[in-house]
Structure 1
Amino acid sequence: MIEKSYSLANGTLATQQIGNPHPTATTVVFIHGWLDNAASFNQIMKQVAQSSPNAHLVAIDLFGHGFSSHKLGSYYPFHDYIDDLYQLVVKLSPNRLVLVGHSLGALIASCYSAAFPEKVSGLIQIEGHGPLSEAPQETVSRLRDGVLSRLRQRRKPSRPLASLEDAIKLRAHANQIDAELIAPIVERGIVERGTVDQGIVECENSWQWRCDPNLKCDSLYRMSQAHAEAIMAAIECPQLVILGSHGFRYLQHNRYKSEHSPPQIEMVPGGHHCHLESPELVSELILGVVNKI
């Protein structure tokens, strides 16, 4: 696994990569979920690479996550991620592109595939299926709640964690997943602070999340169902949707119709992070799409 960063218009985007674009015709880009990072795909990438030694695999840290830059004063509106991905893909390789997204990453990958169908040869969504949408009458309350969430975040004090182990336990509980499975994401998403002399005693070492606190603010806007349907109908490449048997229930219904390429739906054991719980099955499904392209 190689660490490689790219300078984009709004900062530096970090990636983890296996292989390089030259001996292959396809580049697979993995996009993680909200408050996760590139380590979300460590096991998947290793298993795909074992079966496909010439593969070029790239997992990114979205801005505000992992080792990537924080956007100064930004609250990370969803559509900006599409622009970030567009800038990155131009620098990655001229190869055919397969996008693999988990949760938020699936939303980003689906919208990018719709907007730039000529650039995407395959789309795989894990515990995600198209952009989030809601009824138009929710627009005003979402705007109000989003602004107030920013106020709460600005007032919220920073609470350091006592240890890496505490951070792993916290995330494992929040995501209802075994600690050892979520540990790589936590380890990439946390940083240790040194001792601080307060004039009386030295504070014990503490740990802080790397992610930008502004990521936790509510969105000010969400598209309507009609908008989301138009986006999904514009996707032209082969699509695969991978769902956890105990994942988000609303995803277990085919929410969108595609004029060009109806999605293949596959269920694997696990919850919302099913790719961590069933990496062998998910890797096989991903390879099935890549090998067909």
Structure 2
Amino acid sequence: MTPHGPTSNSFISQRLRLHYVDWGNPSAPPLILQHGGRDHCRSWDWVAEELARDWHVIAPDLRGHGDSAWVPDGNYEMNAFVYDFAQLVHTLGHDQVTIVAHSLGGNIATRFTGLYPEKVRKLVNIEGLGPSPEVRARREAEGYANRFRKWIEERRASSGRIMRRYPTIEAAYARMKEENTFLTDEQARHLTVHGASRNEDGTWSWKFDPYLNNWPFEDTPEERLNELWAAIACPVLFLYGADSWASNPESDGRAMVFQDHRVIEFENAGHWLHHDQFDRFMREVRGFLQEAR
């Protein structure tokens, strides 16, 4: 990691002050690194340091994540996340950007790309298409009213839930290691230091809003998502970990909606494959980004 690291900045979206870091090199083409759910922008530091040599790298914190503001009513809907992403691009003033995005961030960035295909040069999507067709079908089979009631009950339970507190930063670090066994000690410590903050009583908690544990029960219908995905004009690289819970879009058919795409699966990697197989990840991403359209 470079000694100075990135600079912190903020922008306003729907009255929320949202945080992002800027890795410098402003004369280079813009590249946005978007993290996933319950993560933070500094999880990209190793990737950003490599790419900042050739790109002007911007890494934002989603609303309710990292050092961005929490939503007052705790309601985190996809449309709001997409609006924030569009507002970031608008605020930065770029005509076109390149995007590398993970999980929830990939879902957001892919919808943005479908809405504004002329604004995205290339997109790297790391396990970021949302639930597989199988999971969607299983949820639909539960019935709309049942899903609605379940969401209300879980939201009511969340309202009284306090943030999980760890007695020491070392205890939070141990939890990070437990969550992703592929992480090295250095990676886990870095992610913990930037992903946790100290409470008034001296304990530590993760920075993300606990309401993010209660995801909205309803999302954009599948046919509408397909419309957005089919509208994407730029090349798309899908990356998936062979040991991840996420469904490979080449296997489940979702990738076929995209005009120009390829899918690469990483062995010995889980959901955070950009941590688990960093060297291979950087080779694949650099090769893809450097290819002529």
* TM-score when normalising by structure 2: 0.87
**Structure 1 residues not aligned, in runs of 5+:** 196-204
The equivalent residue for 1:202 is: none
Deviations 1:97-127 (A, max 9, x none): 1111111111111111111111111111112
Q: What does 1:152-231 correspond to in 2, within 5 Å?
A: 152-178=157-183, 179-195=185-201, 205-231=202-228
Aligned to 2:71, the other structure's residue is in SS state coil
Residues 20 and 144 (structure 1 numbering): CA distance in 2 closer, same or farther, change over 3 Å?
farther
**Structure 2 residues not aligned, in runs of 5+:** 1-5
Deviations 1:50-83 (A, max 9, x none): xxx2410111110100011111113211121000
The equivalent residue for 1:232 is: 229
Residues of 2 paired with 1:68 and 1:158: CA distance?
Answer: 17
Question: Per-residue deviation at 1:249?
Answer: 5.0
The equivalent residue for 2:122 is: 122
Question: Per-residue deviation at 1:130?
Answer: 5.7
* 1:103–1:128 contact (8 Å) kept in structure 2: yes
* 1:234–1:258 contact (8 Å) kept in structure 2: no
Q: What does 1:2-41 correspond to in 2, within 5 Å?
A: 2-21=7-26, 23-24=27-28, 26-41=29-44
The equivalent residue for 1:85 is: 85
Indicate the percent of aligned positions where both proteins have the same amino acid. 24
Residues 10 and 255 (structure 1 numbering): CA distance in 2 closer, same or farther, change over 3 Å?
farther
* 1:191–1:210 contact (8 Å) kept in structure 2: yes
Name the count of aligned residue pairs: 279
* 1:128–1:251 contact (8 Å) kept in structure 2: no
* 2:16–2:71 contact (8 Å) kept in structure 1: yes
The equivalent residue for 1:48 is: 51
Q: Which amino acid aligns with 1:34?
A: G
The equivalent residue for 2:74 is: 74
Q: Which amino acid aligns with 2:192?
A: V
Deviations 1:27-50 (A, max 9, x none): 11111111001012111111223x
The equivalent residue for 1:149 is: 154
The equivalent residue for 2:60 is: 60
Residues 73 and 11 (structure 1 numbering): CA distance in 2 closer, same or farther, change over 3 Å?
same
Residues 89 and 132 (structure 1 numbering): CA distance in 2 closer, same or farther, change over 3 Å?
farther
Deviations 1:180-206 (A, max 9, x none): 3233232222111345xxxxxxxxx21
* 1:267 aligned onto 2:265: yes
Aligned to 2:254, the other structure's residue is in SS state coil
* 1:129–1:241 contact (8 Å) kept in structure 2: no
> Structure 1 residue runs of 4+, over 4 Å off?
130-133, 257-260
Give the root-mean-square deviation of aligned CA atoms.
2.2
* TM-score when normalising by structure 1: 0.87
Residues of 2 paired with 1:19 and 1:95: CA distance?
Answer: 18
* 1:38–1:185 contact (8 Å) kept in structure 2: no
Q: Which has the higher contact order (CA 8 A, sep 6+)?
A: 1
Q: Which amino acid aligns with 1:185?
A: L
Aligned to 1:208, the other structure's residue is in SS state strand
Residues 77 and 16 (structure 1 numbering): CA distance in 2 closer, same or farther, change over 3 Å?
same
Residues of 2 paired with 1:157 and 1:168: CA distance?
Answer: 20
Aligned to 2:288, the other structure's residue is in SS state helix
* 2:76–2:215 contact (8 Å) kept in structure 1: no
Residues of 2 paired with 1:157 and 1:37: CA distance?
Answer: 20
